[in-house]
Structure 1
């Protein structure tokens, strides 16, 4: 089981290292200083980012001199909280940062310029910095988010009804780079060209109140979905991240709509395929989920940081894309990928 270090726990560990050996530390252990690498998600209470932390720990086991630390805003996507957490680790003086970006410009101006000045390397994962800000990280490890959005949009086509079909896109925050790229991809898949909003292209329009933004708040996300399902003619509901399905109440709350979903009268398409989501998919409370590889994002991101820190070796590529996979009610029992 992963042990999630808090800032306070890590500060205590630092104090032990400064004042002397801990009760279980030998002189040989002390001589071999461990590199402290921090995995910081958009939210901390999230199985996606926990898997990325597990990936960090997996690589750490192969080299022996890495200490993986896990952190992030506690319950929802809070841009200022993420910046404060990063700033706290800069003050401590960690060796490397693996960050899923909430708001590119804000984080660069608030903390990532400081990280660069302090020569603390940054790898982004899951969500990259904007193109104009890429000088503040070594590389990005994660999904090609535009292509991921295209894949989600293409799945919506399979459920399109005759004539004009409405769609409601659910996202997290309107400044988050990876989610905005996914929305662009969804619209491109359905319109056949780049548009800022679907307005009848190929028979697709966006429901007037959408996109919905959840800020990563699960209860809010579920209520948004319930609102759509209660409409007389529900638009196709497409979530560009797990959001509602990450709620422990999702199955109980959405079960009354199960017949509508199974028949295709109501359509739910969602990014991600975490264990909690696959349970809902198996209960026919989602039509299709497209999964990512957060474990490998954490493992490879840590490896790249380690190579830089120990060998001064820059990543060979600017971007390391990870593929994605498709889960349906029919293959749900086999649809688990590390």
Structure 2
């Protein structure tokens, strides 16, 4: 009698061609709780299916465009069925990997960081934050901490060619001057510190050194990090502790993107002014759902850009402003 369920299952699978779909999740960096949350979102979707599995990979330590391409190509050699990727360099990624993905009929969805507009035909959709609006939010957060005119700011970003971070920088400038393409020159009441923008390449040690150097100035500019960068460095609290009184008195202002668990702990300690966070878990869950529907039904999403909300965290609401997975 016990053979009947097995035989029935085999007949069902032969009749309907039971398939198993592998979705790869590739962040800009692998050792990053933000992208790990996106992977967990993919796994959450996979729990609702018996025929989906998720893989996770990325450049090990920093935003290396070449490693990202190597990782994607390696995954394609392992016969993945679909790819979810956060773009470090659109041109490099398309030429080095996504053209091949298109030839192999491997659907690609971008999350967190989209391809450039001219490369958008190499992905079926983008799921994540509207990065320009996110930059505007970071810029607006600086307004209540303005002490003089023109007020200096320092923007810290990652790789020079990363699409989402460049959009955020544009958003910051737009919020503070009404234009997005040029450095702030003081005419709007805001001016960019002479050493900035700072480029970290996603290297946490460099990011923390940059932050400490800037805020240790006699009259430090308002510091705006368009991604977590320094706050993902495990030495952040130790290094910034000596500035705690100045942070409390608003003599130093640190505004940062993202609200990972380690960053919420930093906020609770009074070592960051405000953090504006995203929804990496939902990026992964929704992205996997879209890719699955495309694989099984050939169904494309209604829009090729699905924007998710962002949220605001400070010391007063750090326990309740978001959920990390």
* Alignment correspondent of 2:289: 303
Query: Match for residue 20 of structure 2?
Result: 34
- 2:262 is matched with 276
Gaps of 5+ in 2: 1-5
Alignment of 1:25-174 (within 5 A): 32-174=18-160
Residue 89 of structure 1 and its aligned partner are, at CA, apart by 1.2
The Cα shift of 1:105 comes to 0.6
1:267 to 232, 247, 253: 253
Q: Which residue of 2 aligns with 1:176?
A: 162
Cα distance in 1 between the residues matched to 2:164 and 2:21: 29
Contact 1:52 1:299 in 2 (8 A): yes
Select which of 280, 286, 294 maps to 1:294.
280
Structure 2 CA distance for partners of 1:83 and 1:277, relative to 1, 3 Å = same
Shift in Å, 1:90: 1.5
Measure, in 2, the Cα distance between the counterparts of 1:203 and 1:314.
45
Check the 8 A contact 1:169/1:210 in 2, yes or no: yes
Instruction: Encode CA deviations 1:57-79: one digit per residue, 9 max, x unaligned.
Output: 00000112111000000111100
1:76-111 alpha-carbon deviations (Å, 9 max, x no partner): 110000000001112222100000000001111111
Contact persistence 1:102–1:127 (CA under 8 A) = yes
Q: Does 1:230 align with 2:180?
A: no
Structure 2 contact 226–257 (Cα < 8 Å) conserved: yes
Match of 2:3 in 1: none
Measured in 2, the distance between the counterparts of 1:154 and 1:95 equals: 41
Q: Aligned-pair distance for 1:193? A: 2.5
Aligned residues: 313
**What is the DSSP-based 3-state SS (H/G/I as helix, E as strand, rest coil) of the residue aligned with 1:106?**
helix
Query: C-alpha displacement at 1:162, in angstroms?
Result: 2.4
Alignment partner of 1:62: what SS?
coil
2:187 and 2:211 map into 1 onto residues whose CA distance is 24
For 1:105 and 1:219, locate their aligned partners in 2 and report how far apart those are by CA, in whole Å.
27
The 1-side partners of 2:301 and 2:103 are apart by 20
Q: Distance in 2 between matches of 1:128 and 1:250?
A: 29
> In structure 2, how many angstroms separate the alpha carbons of the residues matched to 1:321 and 1:116?
24
CA distance in 2, matches of 1:57, 1:214: 30
- Shift in Å, 1:164: 1.7
Q: Could you tell me the TM-score, scaled by structure 2's length? A: 0.94
CA drift of 1:203 comes to 1.3
* Residues 170 and 212, structure 1, Cα contact 8 Å, conserved in 2: yes
When the two chains are superposed, the root-mean-square deviation of aligned CA atoms in Å is 1.5
1:197–1:206 CA contact under 8 A, matched in 2: yes
Moved over 3 A (4+): 26-29
Q: Does 1:318 align with 2:296?
A: no
Task: Map residues 178-193 of structure 1 onto 2, 5 A cutoff.
Answer: 178-193=164-179
For the residues of structure 1 that align with 2:77 and 2:180, how far apart are their CA atoms? 43
- Does the 8 Å contact 1:190/1:201 carry over to 2? no
Secondary structure of 1:147 counterpart? helix
Secondary structure in structure 2 of the residue aligned to 1:329 = coil
How far is 1:217 from its partner? 0.7
CA contact (8 A) 2:150 2:187 kept: no
